[in-house]
């Protein structure tokens, strides 16, 4: 039984749809739209995009994919680029994103990564956009523990509802420090690159062997094992990107995989848990 995740009071399916690198090629647009729609029909709700992705091209494709769906059937996330996170620029960026997405509001607006704009100012303008009904909630992305501590100590900083970070079996450094802190603050994580951008060739022999054994036991593909692992704590939404219908459906089905404790230990034996602070994994 798949457990939904609560984010800013809304309950969503734990596997969403990433959209980095879509909208870059006109000949692929139809398939990209189709794959997003397949995902929504199969139960995904969270769609993750950003003004930065293809300079708005990804948001445009998402807009086309969702335009005939009821607004409450998907949970739309976009991101403001750090250079646009000021009181003056953020409302303009948001307006452009809404237009490309063909919606009146975002469910969640994230600061894409740390900005030269003072954080207080970004928080203030995020709150203003919330009051104006342009966004339902706001959060951050690529923030490490000290950044989160700074944010949560600001006036209204505790209204941040998530931190989107890179998290997968190879990039699990955030398990030391950041994730325990986010759990303490009751902040769900949004995990990006949850299937390691499909660069499976980087696994060593031991890692490949364990992953293949688990895929065989659960009668699934290796990518589904990676994905299921990334959401195993019941406090994470993973946003794999796929423009392939079959992959999208596999990804959604991965939410059903439940690991036993010995299976998780087997994975820990080959993909080591961090034992000290590590730099935050990026991109
Ligand atoms: N906040 C940030 O700074 C940040 C940074 C990076 C990413 N993100 C977000 O996170 C999303 C996901 O991360 P990502 O795109 O870096 O990596 P990812 O989701 O780990 O991997 C995407 C790659 O895996 C392939 N793939 C997906 N499902 C598959 C399956 N079931 N079987 C085989 N291959 C599969 C995709 O190809 P096909 O299309 O052919 O399936 C694509 O090449 C992004 O799209 C973006 O929305 C956010």
Provide the pLDDT for residue 281: 96
Mean confidence (pLDDT) of the chain: 97
- What percent of the chain has a predicted confidence (pLDDT) above 90? 98
CB neighbourhood size of 66 (10 A): 21
Ligand 1 atom closest to residue 195's alpha carbon, by position in its atom list: 20
Q: What is the pLDDT of residue 1?
A: 65
Residues 107 and 130: beta-carbon distance below 8 Å: no
Using an 8 Å Cβ cutoff, are 19 and 62 in contact?
yes
Q: d(Cα 122, Cα 128) in Å, to the nearest integer?
A: 10
> pLDDT at residue 210 above 80?
yes
Q: What are phi and psi of 215, to 5 degrees?
A: -60, -40
Q: Is 181 a catalytic residue?
A: no
pLDDT of residue 3: 87
Cα(132) to centroid(ligand 1), Å: 32
17 C-alpha vs ligand 1 centroid, how far in Å?
A: 9
The alpha carbons of the chain give a radius of gyration, in whole angstroms, of 18
Instruction: Say if CB 172 and CB 217 are below 8 A apart.
Output: no
Instruction: Give the DSSP H/E element, type plus range, for residue 211.
Output: helix 205-218
Q: List the helix and strand counts (H, then E) for the chain.
A: 10, 10
Distance CA 53, CA 173 (A): 26
Q: Give yes or no for a contact between 122 and 88, defined as CB atoms under 8 angstroms apart.
A: no
The residue to which tokens 């954080």 are assigned: 119
Residue whose tokens read 């589904």 = 224
Can you list the domains of the chain with their CATH numbers?
A: 10-202+233-258 (3.20.20.100)
The C-alpha atoms of residue 143 and residue 261 are separated, in whole angstroms, by 30
pLDDT tens per residue across span 225-258: 999 999 999 999 999 999 999 999 999 999 999 9
Nearest-atom index, ligand 1, CA of 141: 1
């Amino acid at each position: 039984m798949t457990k939904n995740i609560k984010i800013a009071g809304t309950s969503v399916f734990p596997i969403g749809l990433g959209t980095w690198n879509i909208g870059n090629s006109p000949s692929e647009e139809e398939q990209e739209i189709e794959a997003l729609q397949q995902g929504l029909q199969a139960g995904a709700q969270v769609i993750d995009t950003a003004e930065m992705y293809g300079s708005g091209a990804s948001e445009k494709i998402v807009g086309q994919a969702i335009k005939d769906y009821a607004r409450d059937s998907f949970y739309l996330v976009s991101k403001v680029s750090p250079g646009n996170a000021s009181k003056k620029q953020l409302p303009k960026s948001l307006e452009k994103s809404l237009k490309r997405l063909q919606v009146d509001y975002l469910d969640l607006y994230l600061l894409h990564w740390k900005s030269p704009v003072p954080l207080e100012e970004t928080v203030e303008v995020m709150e203003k956009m919330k009051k104006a009904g342009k966004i339902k909630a706001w959060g951050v992305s690529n923030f490490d523990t000290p950044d989160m501590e700074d944010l949560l100590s600001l006036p209204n900083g505790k209204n941040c509802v998530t931190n989107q970070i890179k998290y997968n079996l190879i990039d699990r450094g955030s398990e030391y420090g950041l994730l325990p802190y986010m759990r303490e603050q009751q902040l769900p994580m949004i995990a990006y690159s949850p299937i390691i951008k499909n660069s499976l060739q980087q696994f060593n022999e031991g890692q490949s062997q364990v992953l293949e054994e688990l895929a065989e036991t659960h009668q699934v593909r290796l990518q589904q094992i990676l994905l299921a692992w990334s959401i195993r704590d019941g406090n994470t939404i993973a946003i794999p990107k796929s423009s392939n219908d079959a992959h999208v459906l596999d990804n959604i089905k991965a939410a059903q995989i439940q690991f036993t404790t010995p299976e998780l230990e087997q994975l820990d034996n080959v993909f080591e848990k961090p034992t000290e602070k590590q730099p935050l994994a990026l991109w």
